[in-house]
Chain A
Amino acid sequence: MTATPILEMRGIDKSFGPVQVLRQVDFTANAGEVTALVGDNGAGKSTLVKCVGGIYPIDSGDYLFDGKPVTVHSPRDASSLGVEIVYQDLALCENLDIVQNMFLGRERTRGIVLDEPTMEKMASETLDRLSVRTVKSIRQLVASLSGGQRQTVAIAKAVLWNSKVVILDEPTAALGVAQTAQVLELVRQLADNGLAVVLISHNMNDVFAVADQIACLYLGRMAAQVKATDVTYSQVVELITAGRSGDLGLQAAAVAAAGNGNGSHDAGVTDLGDMNGAQ
């Protein structure tokens, strides 16, 4: 990858009170690629993503978008850059229909009146572009949709705004086999359309099915970010559980530092703190 990554985080530190959750984390996402972000529970995945999305401010480090340093203080800042996050719990309103959900908080208006025809047209164009055929009517209430369809709507909502980076937090966690395949296909489609996709997942099958790059967090440090074709399944699992695998990952001293920090309690505390902060 010689091109400038669309999203680059350099040396990110983040603490919640005395608990340091992210230490010197580097992370990049390239346009047209799926970058999987993996790591054990409490490794800092969600925190990193929330820093990218502007929900948490970063303590130190650089946030580069398209090669240029930017400051992101709120979700609105991130959206205006073109960074959209699809949350694990989906953040959809069941009492509203698909179009209403896709434009939630950013409704198109003509004067003071909602511009329904334009919103309908944009929504159906976006769904067409994603080759979504599972949804019968865009005026269907979200309450009547299946889990996979809801995920599709949530992803379409993120893509609607000509976003450049889409971050998916465990999109397949609650889905069945067929629906998972559907969503993964959609993820691949997004990357093929030229977006940078960041996929958080615990499921190695999903990761190897769609990811071009794999970034692995271990106790708040970036153990390694590698091409998916360069590593094996078991290497990634080692990276997740031990922070290193052969030449890859944190070196022994760093693992010890990450694992033990300044005292033997630190690891446990970090872990716990991260979970509190991230969930």
Chain B
Amino acid sequence: MTSTVADQTAEQSEPAPPARPGWPRRLLRAVGVQNISLVIALAVLVAIIGAQNSKFFLVTNIETIGTAVTVVGLLAVVQTVVMLLGGLDISVGSAAGLASVVSAMVFMSTHSAAIGILVALVTGVATGVFNGLVIVYGRVNAVIATLATYAGFRGLANLISNGRAQGYTGTDSTFVFLARGSIAGIPTLIWILVILALAVHLMLRYTDIGRNIYAMGGNATAARLAGINLNRYVVGCYIAAGLVAAVAGVLLTARTGSGQPTSGSQGLELQAITAAALGGVAMQGGKGTITGTILAVVLLGVLQNGLTILNVNSFWQDIAQGFLLVVAVIIQQRRRGLRAVGLP
């Protein structure tokens, strides 16, 4: 956890903790020591892109970045929870595609955005239940299980949509509000991300549910012996992942104006995992914060936006992203301080 690590380092350097730390230290604790590098990276990136092209700083561009990262941000937040538990959900992108198609198709047949969205969310929950049950009761490794459903859900989405974009939601006020509306001058998309991130952050930081999630990621045996119902937590986290993936899918539908089985949702899982890993969430589980993940999401968003503004070939963006994932995990492994046994 962010602040405990901060506390620990603070107390190791000075045995008597200060009664009331000054504001720089409090700010540092709020952000977290390990997130400082992210903040610095973000600042450097902004400075470089801003120096090349001053349009970067326009409010409209900042809004563009904000709305562009929302879908990835939602998935990264929920991916953080799954990874803290010691799992991984590769199927979130496919689940989002499935939910996108379902929301558009149900909307077209019922002419009700509410029903379309509701059915999509139920579909998302069902994908999560399926993942969770396979992992818990099938005793299947989380990576394998969600890799299988990654293919399965995508196939299902293509099957029901015949592989084509479905419906047209561009004239429905609800979908338009989700995609382009704003509350108090801030786009709806950004609100959705901020609210989810804040809720999950508070849950992880201040409730026993969050504490138990960290405990399971740290030592599942200890958690079981402490009387924590591991199965319920695993299934619950994958259901949350499915639900949030469905929200992401609905937002995809709203933004593109139609239900997309693959376009838009393909590769989201990689982006979500990259963001979480870059944000300091340990692949082994038990370590990481929502603050870090959100910073990484913004960093990736700025990078993507900057490369577009600077007219860099978009294929470079994929390369940059893969590179960042590897770098993030290397940094993580170095930080764990484990000696590599059996490796040079």
Contact = CB atoms under 8 A, between A and B. Distances in A.
A and B from one complex:
yes
B223 A105 contact: yes
A107 B211 contact: yes
B219 A91 contact: yes
Nearest to A137: B11
Say whether chain A's binding surface is mostly helix, strand, loop, or mixed.
loop
A75 B225 CA distance: 8
Contact of A141 (B4, B17, B225, B228): B4
A134 B206 CA distance: 29
Interface residues of A, number: 28
A55 to B, nearest CB: 9
Interface in A26-66: none
A273 to B, nearest CB: 23
Interface in B235-291: 286-287
B7 A91 contact: no
Interface string B207-236: 110011011011101110111100000000
Main SS of the interface on chain B? Answer: helix
A269 interface: no
Nearest to A154: B222
Nearest to B222: A91
A96 B7 contact: no
A95 B8 CA distance: 12
Nearest to B221: A91
A91 B215 contact: no
A114 B11 contact: no
B194 to A, nearest CB: 21
B5 interface: yes
Interface string A88-100: 0111111111001
Contacts of B211: 96, 100, 104, 107, 114
B24 interface: no
B227 A92 contact: no
A93 B214 contact: yes
B333 to A, nearest CB: 15
A133 to B, nearest CB: 13
Contacts of B286: 93-95
Nearest to B229: A105
A10 interface: no
A122 B21 CA distance: 24
B18 interface: no
Contact of A105 (B7, B11, B207, B226): B226
B208 A109 contact: yes
Nearest to B336: A143
Contacts of A97: 4, 8
A136 B227 contact: no
Contacts of A105: 212, 215, 223, 226-228
B22 interface: no
Contacts of B344: none
B138 interface: no
A140 interface: yes
Contacts of A100: 4, 211, 214-215
Given A87-B225, A140-B8, A104 B207 contact: no
B342 interface: no
Contact of B222 (A104, A109, A140): A104
B214 A95 contact: yes
Contacts of A96: 1, 4, 211, 214-215, 218
Interface in B56-109: none
A136 B15 contact: yes
A245 B207 CA distance: 56
A64 to B, nearest CB: 24
A104 B220 CA distance: 12
B8 to A, nearest CB: 6
Nearest to A100: B211
A234 B4 CA distance: 50
A114 B214 contact: no
A268 B222 CA distance: 32
Contacts of A91: 219, 221-222, 225-226
Which 3 A-B pairs rank lowest in CB-CB distance, beginning with the nearest? A105-B226, A93-B218, A95-B218
Interface of A: 75-76, 79, 87, 89-97, 100, 104-107, 109, 112-114, 136-137, 139-141, 144
